[in-house]
Structure 1
Amino acid sequence: MRSIGVIVSSDRIEAAQAAGADYVEPTIVNNLVARSTDGVWGPNPDRETPTGCPSFAILFPGDLRLADPSFSADEVTAYLEAVLPVVAAHAAPGAKIVFGSGAARTIPEGVDRAEAETRFADVVRQARDIAARHDLRIVLEPLHRGETNLINSIAECAAFLDEHGIDGVPIVADLFHIMLEHEPLSVVREQGARIGHVHIADAERRTPGSGDWPLSEFLRALDEGGYTGSVSLECNWDDFPSEVASGLAHVRTLV
């Protein structure tokens, strides 16, 4: 049976567990970690998060310009070196860290695209390598064009990783971004061996079962592509306790 979890900030973990989530996927920025008044990132003293979490989301804050060659590479390194040990303290062995962070990776206006992509590739490698030292795994998430102008589809993500010779970084299949980019579900099957993590939601990023998106077809494409791992709900919530319970129950009818 496939594990079904929920992306949450730490204040919603108890409600997610009570609703029957198999696991929680805590967010990192301004949840697990926070920035002090002097600009240093470290553990967030105002949030309590359990240990043994299998995955995490929201790796970078938006003001770290990851695809800007003029931005300080040392600042990015310092952030990763400060934050990833904090994540590891709450992680299960081999836990996945979703590298989405659309604002941070957006190519700024006027920056040469090839140079920006080279710089971003360096960041992906560095994040992969520092994460590995803490028994964590980076998974790279395509994001729709409303969130970033760099890597908008599973096909683009695979091509980017191949072009820059980046191995050991699986791809996230997120139905929300797939639908907004009109990417065919056949890509999920074709790239199945490279899928390392999955996010799911229904239309308008509501809870599964509340809309008309092809949830069954998406999960079937994952199965046909050989992905047997977990699936995390990533939704916009109005009434979290009731909506997350119904969403989890609905996805379990499909897997």
Structure 2
Amino acid sequence: MIKSAVTIALVPQIKTGPWIFWNDLEMGMKQASELGFDGVELFTASADSIDPSKLEKLLAKYRLSLAALGTGAGKVLHGLTLTDPDPTMRAKAQAFVSDMIAFGARFGAPAIIGSMQGNVQPGADRQQTIEWFKESLEILADKASSLGVHLIYEPLNRYETKLFNTLESSVSLLESLKANQVKLLADLFHMNIEETALAQSIREFGNYIGHVHFADSNRKPMGFGHTGMAPIAEALREISYEGYVSAEAFPWPDSNAAAKQTIQQFRKFFR
């Protein structure tokens, strides 16, 4: 069964971004539970910024699961990426993500590599950058595998990275890895920029999809843009997707309204 999730940002230094609930973990979980979400996706400052025993109690209290854990704070707060030309910085980035993997694995949740993939730096060799990224992915995939979870890689649009922007190109990356524990995140916002036909890409590369981000073409909650959601939902059913459809969207017009809009749209297309 396809499951619903909503994002909660817990990084005080960040004031804006595509997350529905902000700053208050319990309040966000309480609202998610009352609206009927199955899980929450957390964006945290680090692996040790939340007491795992507290999170375990809150998940049980509000009958929620941890859907996934974002790692982007490593870049935003510390400037870390997995493709930094400096090997010391790459090692620090790997350690940051590794700790996130270990935290999420306690709850059976994968860590997401999005912005921490980095970019091809001006004047740098693209193939060398890709080799650095592959090395990092293999190290981190081994860590995830040892803990019984997948690692999630998110292709971003061309304005955010020059690495891999489509499901097809990302599948080529995954197939070149020695590790097989990496799955793709199909982010509908990024896909609206890069994919020719979203539903067809999902059908073609569905075996590699491990997580879905649910946002409209303008990154507002689904239903506030021009994404044709019905064929996308049908494609996800056709590939027998059973993971989370998680709202990584702007809290527009506010968090409560965005969450209500998201769960209404989720039920419209998936229940």
Per the normalisation by structure 1, the TM-score is 0.84
Q: Deviations over 1:188-233 (max 9, x none)?
A: 1011111111111113111112222111111112222332322111
Deviation at 1:66, TM superposition (A): 1.3
Q: Deviations over 1:12-45 (max 9, x none)?
A: 33322222211111113x2xx2xxxxxxx73357
Letter in 2 for 1:8: I
Structure 1, 125-134 or 186-195: larger mean CA deviation: 125-134
Structure with greater helix percent: 2
Q: Deviations over 1:120-153 (max 9, x none)?
A: 0011111111223333320111110111111111
Are 1:108 and 2:121 matched, yes or no? Answer: yes
Matching residue within 212, 218, 242 for 1:204: 218
Matching residue within 71, 81, 85 for 2:102: 85
Matching residue within 135, 156, 163 for 1:143: 156
Letter in 2 for 1:235: A
Equivalence for 1:68: 84
User: Is the 8 Å Cα contact of residues 80 and 130 (structure 1) preserved in structure 2?
Assistant: no
Unaligned runs of 5+ in 1: 34-40
Q: Deviations over 1:142-198 (max 9, x none)?
A: 110111111111011001112344422111111111101133221110111111111
Q: Distance in 2 between matches of 1:213 and 1:192?
A: 19
- How large is the RMSD of aligned CA atoms in angstroms? 2.2
Taking a change above 3 Å as real, the CA distance of residues 84 and 162 of structure 1, as seen in their structure-2 partners, is closer
Q: Distance in 2 between matches of 1:132 and 1:166?
A: 9
Deviation at 1:240, TM superposition (A): 0.7
Are 1:249 and 2:264 matched, yes or no? Answer: yes
Taking a change above 3 Å as real, the CA distance of residues 23 and 242 of structure 1, as seen in their structure-2 partners, is same
User: Is the 8 Å Cα contact of residues 59 and 97 (structure 1) preserved in structure 2?
Assistant: no
Unaligned runs of 5+ in 2: 11-23, 60-64
Taking a change above 3 Å as real, the CA distance of residues 208 and 78 of structure 1, as seen in their structure-2 partners, is closer
Equivalence for 2:141: 128
Matching residue within 49, 52, 59 for 1:43: 49
